[in-house]
């Protein structure tokens, strides 16, 4: 009976992943038709650095690519996840034979919050993308995007604290760290840091592979915690990411852009907190390990700014770090493949630590 229950749970997790992949593959030809028809790419190529000057090194490497393929490829990811949720919910509630499989993973206690984070971030990013593709436009100001992340993460953080009574962060092999109301600003800081890591979407195929490893890790962690609906939700995102990645490997048919990265980074933070004290695990503590490449991306940007401010020169040829490797001569596919390898390594390390902490 125990084995049957485990097998049933595995099916409940794998079916959404497969469904999201299939739906994403079916959605892409339709989406790309309209993206190319309406020329949904940045009309004025080039990037401005944080100091207000032209990012010469970046423009040398990528100025032509910005008008080669359309933005908004992230629609494939969240669109396939949303279609999967709606389809499985409809099938489960329509056919009695499917009802017994319990494939409907939309639940108030596990998936409403991460789904809301994904969709709010995705729609805000979509609005930004729609502005970016206008002639002479630069998209939403950074302060406005940060404000959206701030408002959304404050609400979710408050929900964790007030509605779910999350007041502590679990420490691997140690006692939980009680922080009370500080869980709210802590979640906000984590969300802002993750949003900043969205700049990893900079080389064909890079972000898709890295994000897929991260969500696959939390699929396993949530499954071990018996949060099956949350595991199914994370697995569905993996399926959508793999469909996106199929069309994003060099040369990319489209770019993920803000509608993908904004929603995904907000969802990562929410799932990490769901798999921490609330789920009896250490989802927050292992986040810097599982998402180490995101950490490295943000850290390289911060270090570059500090070096230029304090020492008057650059630490890297170009930040974030993956572009530095391009600037010193690594071909884009070499950077991507090595990032994929590292993302899997760090994912394994984080999952092993998370499971060991649960078992101790």
Compute the average pLDDT of residues 329-334: 92
Compute the average pLDDT of residues 218-247: 97
Confidence class of residue 36 from pLDDT cuts 50, 70 and 90? very high
Spacing of C-alpha 75 from chain mean position: 13
Q: pLDDT tens digits, residue range 71-119?
A: 999 999 999 999 999 999 888 887 766 665 688 899 989 999 999 999 9
The per-residue pLDDT for 100 is 59
Q: How far is CA 297 from CA 19, 204, 210, 214, 320, in A?
A: 31, 16, 12, 15, 5
pLDDT at 50 over 60: no
The per-residue pLDDT for 206 is 95
d(CA 304, CA 349): 28
Compute the average pLDDT of residues 317-345: 93
d(CA 356, CA 281): 10
Q: How many residues can be counted in the chain?
A: 360
pLDDT at 9 over 70: yes
Which SS3 state, helix, strand or coil, does residue 39 take? coil
The per-residue pLDDT for 171 is 95
Confidence class of residue 53 from pLDDT cuts 50, 70 and 90? low
Q: pLDDT tens digits, residue range 131-151?
A: 999 887 778 999 999 999 999
Confidence class of residue 298 from pLDDT cuts 50, 70 and 90? very high
**E runs forming strands in the chain:** 168-169, 177-178
pTM score over 0.85: yes
Q: Which residues contact 158 (CB under 8 A, 6 or more apart)?
A: 184
The per-residue pLDDT for 185 is 97
């Amino acid at each position: 009976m125990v084995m049957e229950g485990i097998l049933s749970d595995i099916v409940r997790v794998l079916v959404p992943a497969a469904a999201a992949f299939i739906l994403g593959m079916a959605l892409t030809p339709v989406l790309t038709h309209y993206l190319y028809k309406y020329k949904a790419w940045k009309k004025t190529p080039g990037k401005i650095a944080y100091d207000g000057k032209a990012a010469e090194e970046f423009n040398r490497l990528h100025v032509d690519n910005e008008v080669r393929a359309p933005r908004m490829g992230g629609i494939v990811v969240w669109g396939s996840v949303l279609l999967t949720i709606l389809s499985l919910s409809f099938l489960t509630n329509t056919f009695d034979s499917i009802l017994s499989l319990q494939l409907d993973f939309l639940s108030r206690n596990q998936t409403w919050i991460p789904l809301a984070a994904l969709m709010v971030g995705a729609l805000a990013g979509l609005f930004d993308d729609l502005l970016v593709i206008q002639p002479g436009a630069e998209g939403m100001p950074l302060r406005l995007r940060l404000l959206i992340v701030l408002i959304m993460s404050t609400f979710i953080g408050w929900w964790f604290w007030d509605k779910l009574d999350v007041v502590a962060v679990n420490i691997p092999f140690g006692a939980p760290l009680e922080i009370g109301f500080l869980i709210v600003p802590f979640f906000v800081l984590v969300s802002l840091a993750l949003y900043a890591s969205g700049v990893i979407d900079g080389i064909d195929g890079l972000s898709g592979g890295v994000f897929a490893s991260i969500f696959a890790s939390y699929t396993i962690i949530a499954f071990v915690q018996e949060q099956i609906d949350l595991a199914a939700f994370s697995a569905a995102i993996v399926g959508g990411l793999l469909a996106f990645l199929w069309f994003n490997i060099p040369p990319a048919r489209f770019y993920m852009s803000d509608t993908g990265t904004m929603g995904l980074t907000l969802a990562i933070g929410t799932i990490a907190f769901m798999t921490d004290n609330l789920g009896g695990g250490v989802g927050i503590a292992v986040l810097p390990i599982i998402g180490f490449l995101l950490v490295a991306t943000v850290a390289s940007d911060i270090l570059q700014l500090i070096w230029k401010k304090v020492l008057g020169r650059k630490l890297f040829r170009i930040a974030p770090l993956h572009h530095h490797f391009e600037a010193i001569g690594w071909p884009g596919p070499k950077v991507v493949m090595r990032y994929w390898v590292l993302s899997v390594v760090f994912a394994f390390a984080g999952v092993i630590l998370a499971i060991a902490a649960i078992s101790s």
